[in-house]
Amino acid sequence: GGQLDIGAEARGEGIEIVVRGTGERLTLDPEIRRALQGKLGEGEVTSRTAAAWMTHSLAQAGGGAVLVESGEGMVVLGATLVA
């Protein structure tokens, strides 16, 4: 069991999207974290990290960014996108 909360809000010239997950055994894979943070080169992208890498790339191309925070039993993913 766990909980997933999703929110979105228009702010000024952009949109903020936040996904927060909590659960006893919830973790974020280090390679997916690196892909979301833009720390993987194109040659390091695998089928497992492709969606995360694309998420970062699209946000960055549109003048936005991806935020990744995690702790024991909690993961928060956020994105800012320019409208």
CA 19 to chain centre: 8
Beta bridge partners of 77: 19, 68
pLDDT in tens, 21-48: 999 999 999 999 999 999 998 899 999 9
Q: What is the pLDDT of residue 1?
A: 85
Q: What is the pLDDT of residue 58?
A: 92
Residue 83 confidence (pLDDT) above 80: no
Cβ contact 66:37 at 8 Å: yes
